[in-house]
Structure 1
Amino acid sequence: MRPQTVDADGETLIARVMATIRNRIAGRSLTPGAKLPSIRGFATSLKVSKSTVVEAYERLAAEGLIRSRPGSGFFVAAPLAPLSLAEIGPQVEREVDPLWISRQALEADGDFLKPGCGWLPAQWMPEEGLRRALRTVARASASTLVDYGPPLGLLPLRALLARRLAQHGIEASPEQIMLTESGTQAIDLLCRFLVEPGETVLVDDPCYFNFHALLRAHQAKIVGIPNTPAGPDIERFAAALEEHRPRLYITNSALHNPTGATLSPLVAHRLLKLADQAGLTIVEDDIFADFEEAPAPRLAAFDGLERVVHIGSFSKSLSAAVRCGFIAAPRQWIEPLADLKIATSFGGPGFAAELVLTLLKDGSYRKHMETVRQRLSRAMAETIGRLRALDIEPWIEPQAGMFVWCRLPDGIDAAELARRALARNIVLAPGNVFSQAQTAGNFLRFNVAQCEDERLFRELSALLRR
């Protein structure tokens, strides 16, 4: 196997040449049938050897993207893909886009470190418990294995979820709970149900970046409310209600993403009072509930599911491959939400719901989460200590969970740092991805569960010195 030439940032030069050609094809500067630059000329313009360009062209030909005509050179062979908005404009600017970062984390292979991603490492998940549950569900009736699920979802699981919600003070009957394929689908359905194009939706600033992406897909106007360690800035929240007359507010009450903060009871009460006066609906995203060490206030508990819709999911705690979430909402909303679910995805997550129910009932999930909380507590303390040694300072020290929101040393731009880290096979999460107002340019979100590799801190140290 011939050795690869490697540049100063650790990226193979061959890969860089290949990426340049792919980008030109995607950007329509090279169309089907167009001749590629000559090997000598391309090597000169990119300041690489001719052998590097030859190897890159050969690999692209093996992929079917280009073809060789002996004596004539290389030509574009692939038909044009549909034009993608993600490919318009400089790719450097795309690197701080929420969807781009999600793609990097989802597509990264095993060599990548992913401290910027939002899920637990695979080795932290209950593999044996999942396999046992799969064997159990495999013995279920044929309808469980092959049929669509009912619109509201598996009744025994909804009944169990109602009991679990009661532990947080949230009173919801099984008839007020609808299963979804994920927390993301839950928010999507609620936006379809509640938000018209052009209407204003409030989010925390910073907030989970996919809230931005979903709301843009629904053509909503997004207004960010500065977040504090106790919840949203109440004065700014009241001012936004007066100025924008929003339809919806989406937030995390417990273990806020990305900051790790927890809503205080005082802020919760003031928030609900303002929402009631303004006729505002609140979507409380509680997918990290089972990561808590001690219960935090829930808006849905104070409100009684009148103005607050509560959603959850097992993607982060159990398995991202087992797509099962839920919505707990006012009783009169459940039927129209079920109609929307049928219209957009038809059946419910029947097989996944049976699997989750099995794990919840046999005790596997409870034991798994006890272990996860202990591991996260240790990882949080160790990661914060390692980051502080690099002058990367936590905004707060979270009580639990996987996220720590950190301020970089003065003069360091998080987006630029993330761009350089990618060349070293590290996916970071720059602050402005989470900020509607773009005021978090010197912040990063770290997932402490993904920070156990010594290489991460060694590479960060090197990147910060540059």
Structure 2
Amino acid sequence: MPLQLDAFSGSLTERIVMAVQDAVQQRQWRAGEQVPSIRQFAASHGVSTFTVVEAYDRLVADGVLIARRGDGFYVRPRAGSGQIAIPRQPQKTADAYWLIDNHFNPADSDRQPGSGWLPADWYDHGGLARSLRALGREMQPPAHYGDPMGLLRLRQTLAGHLAAQGLPATPDNILLTQGASQALQLVIKMLVNSGDVVLVDDPGYCNLITLLKMAGARVIGAPWTVHGPDTAELAQLMQTHRPRAFFTNPRLHNPTGASYDQATAHRVLQLAEQHACWVVEDDVSAALAEPGSNPLQALAGTQRVIHIGSVSKTLAPSLRVGYVVANDEVIDALVNHKMLTGLTSSLINEQLALSMLSDGRYRRRLQKLRDRLLAANLAARHGFESLGWPVFAEPAPSLFAWVQLPPALDAVRCTEAALQQDILLAPGVLFRVQAEATPWLRCNVAHLAPEVFAFFAAAGGQQ
């Protein structure tokens, strides 16, 4: 039975926290019991999974809930209550919603090829520490709400970086957000109405697919190739369905690691113009792309293309700083949605991001990160070729490789077996629009430890 969120005041996250606390106090949710998963709670209450993640994290920090890795959340037993203890070895399973429910509670090891982030020691901890110290030395550290558009100096810095890639970016048409995830949510709120047809990459970013479905959109997948979407199929889909928008990830694609070539980029933009379809490019890995590759907005401008980016992928995920580049009308609408749903973004995070981007060592460190990722991709390809498992795209400085399992090996069952050894995999079914069965896995090349390849070899009967 859903909780009555409207009985409480505050932000949506705060209302969820208070509603759960009340349910525990009234023993509607009893001590020791497992509570609804993040996905289940979001679906039953009509809220975003990201909001539920934030609320559950607060409840864990407050001691109301306990997070059990691989098994979800439980109400914390009261001292001396005599409640049955939570099992120490929870059953670990994988299904089409596994990645969303377990994304923020991976195993405590480096064997996490299903994750979407770099290993902790790949980030610039020294740069972050320097920026934190510099911020702490300020006479008046930022304690107030920031500009609804985001920190002006950071927008100016980003405009310079983006203009170098050919984007028509200025401080006035850049909106800062709490990570690219909030940027996607805001664009969906502004652009998509219930019942609208939208196209997405297939395979594509699983959280985006979920957000669009929660908005009531009819989501249709455009098949993906090593050069980007299959433009012949895309043309047919646009002709048949007249979509409101095409959400796509053009560079270092999640989950395949492939990127658009120039011919595909031009054809996609031509089709969008022909069918009056918005293009929303999710370009969160742009900083990792090799210099010379162009975002779609650099080719078509802001009248048809909305550009979403992030600094979190390369600086630190904890900063949660993303941005949108769009025309004035779109930016004005997005600012209104941002203020209504979350007020301003974090001024502290934006100042830290500015400090790290302005560090003279940033460009050299970024090139080293590209080189390291490319080397990891080459090593991953060699490892998978030794198993006889095809890799979808050519090596690039991407986090991801899209790997095909042999016919006798089921991707979901393989994931379930890996979880029993605290190895985090991401089966391809998670990235399909209708959760269609597929023999592919998304592998984060930075997390492919020798133990992971040993597991793959054993699973494939090649030890």
TM-score, length-normalised on structure 2? Answer: 0.80
**Change beyond 3 A, Cα 1:401–1:128:** same
Residue of structure 2 equivalent to 1:132: 130
Instruction: Indicate the larger mover: 220-229 or 456-465.
Output: 456-465
**Change beyond 3 A, Cα 1:120–1:377:** same
**Change beyond 3 A, Cα 1:461–1:332:** same
Q: 2:119 aligns with which of 111, 118, 121?
A: 121
2:150 & 2:458 partners in 1: Cα distance? 51
1:23 & 1:250 partners in 2: Cα distance? 42
Q: Which is greater in Rg? A: 1
1:283 & 1:403 partners in 2: Cα distance? 21
Give 1:67 shift. 4.8
Superposition pairs of residues 327-338 of structure 1, within 5 angstroms:
327-338=324-335
Give 1:413 shift. 1.3
Q: 2:386 aligns with which of 379, 386, 389?
A: 389
**Change beyond 3 A, Cα 1:359–1:414:** same
Q: Tell me whether 1:359 sits opposite 2:356 in the alignment.
A: yes
AA at the equivalent of 1:353: E
1:65 & 1:368 partners in 2: Cα distance? 50
Superposition pairs of residues 255-270 of structure 1, within 5 angstroms:
255-270=252-267
Q: Tell me whether 1:101 sits opposite 2:95 in the alignment.
A: no
1:166 & 1:273 partners in 2: Cα distance? 23
| Contact 1:318–1:365 (8 Å) recurs in 2 | no
Per-residue CA deviation, residues 118-145 of structure 1 (Å, 9 max, x unaligned), is: 1100000000110001111222353x52
Give 1:193 shift. 0.4
**Change beyond 3 A, Cα 1:306–1:64:** same
Per-residue CA deviation, residues 416-446 of structure 1 (Å, 9 max, x unaligned), is: 1101110110110111111115456100011
| Contact 2:32–2:75 (8 Å) recurs in 1 | no
Which SS does the other structure have where 1:316 is aligned?
Answer: coil
1:198 & 1:91 partners in 2: Cα distance? 36
| Contact 1:415–1:441 (8 Å) recurs in 2 | no
**Change beyond 3 A, Cα 1:389–1:338:** same
| Contact 1:300–1:310 (8 Å) recurs in 2 | yes
Superposition pairs of residues 32-111 of structure 1, within 5 angstroms:
63-64=77-78, 67-68=81-82, 92=93, 95-98=94-97, 100-111=98-109
Q: Tell me whether 1:152 sits opposite 2:149 in the alignment.
A: yes
Which SS does the other structure have where 2:118 is aligned?
Answer: coil
**Change beyond 3 A, Cα 1:26–1:184:** closer
Gaps of 5+ in 2: 1-30, 37-73
Q: Tell me whether 1:418 sits opposite 2:412 in the alignment.
A: no
Give 1:91 shift. 8.3
AA at the equivalent of 2:444: N
Matched residues, number: 392
**Change beyond 3 A, Cα 1:458–1:335:** same
Superposition pairs of residues 37-436 of structure 1, within 5 angstroms:
63-64=77-78, 67-68=81-82, 92=93, 95-98=94-97, 100-111=98-109, 113-142=111-140, 144-436=141-433
1:255 & 1:26 partners in 2: Cα distance? 37
Per-residue CA deviation, residues 263-313 of structure 1 (Å, 9 max, x unaligned), is: 111111111111112111111111101112233232101111110001111
Per-residue CA deviation, residues 391-431 of structure 1 (Å, 9 max, x unaligned), is: 22101223321211111112211111101110110110111
| Contact 1:112–1:425 (8 Å) recurs in 2 | no
Per-residue CA deviation, residues 343-385 of structure 1 (Å, 9 max, x unaligned), is: 0000222111111111111223323212211211211111111
TM-score, length-normalised on structure 1? Answer: 0.79
1:315 & 1:102 partners in 2: Cα distance? 19
Which SS does the other structure have where 1:321 is aligned?
Answer: helix
**Change beyond 3 A, Cα 1:216–1:141:** farther
| Contact 1:183–1:311 (8 Å) recurs in 2 | yes
Which SS does the other structure have where 1:108 is aligned?
Answer: coil
Residue of structure 1 equivalent to 2:452: 456
Give 1:63 shift. 4.5
1:180 & 1:210 partners in 2: Cα distance? 17
AA at the equivalent of 2:234: F
| Contact 1:262–1:296 (8 Å) recurs in 2 | no
Instruction: Indicate the larger mover: 294-303 or 147-156.
Output: 294-303
1:328 & 1:463 partners in 2: Cα distance? 45
Give 1:175 shift. 0.5
1:201 & 1:251 partners in 2: Cα distance? 11
Which SS does the other structure have where 2:460 is aligned?
Answer: helix
Gaps of 5+ in 1: 1-21, 28-59, 69-73, 78-89
1:260 & 1:282 partners in 2: Cα distance? 20
Amino-acid identity (%) = 35
Give 1:180 shift. 0.3
1:324 & 1:75 partners in 2: Cα distance? 42
1:61 & 1:215 partners in 2: Cα distance? 31
**Change beyond 3 A, Cα 1:342–1:25:** closer
Give 1:65 shift. 9.5
Q: CA RMSD in A?
A: 2.5
1:324 & 1:331 partners in 2: Cα distance? 21
1:155 & 1:61 partners in 2: Cα distance? 43
| Contact 1:254–1:262 (8 Å) recurs in 2 | yes
2:79 & 2:223 partners in 1: Cα distance? 47
2:408 & 2:78 partners in 1: Cα distance? 44
1:249 & 1:149 partners in 2: Cα distance? 32
1:362 & 1:24 partners in 2: Cα distance? 49
1:115 & 1:383 partners in 2: Cα distance? 11
Which SS does the other structure have where 1:392 is aligned?
Answer: coil
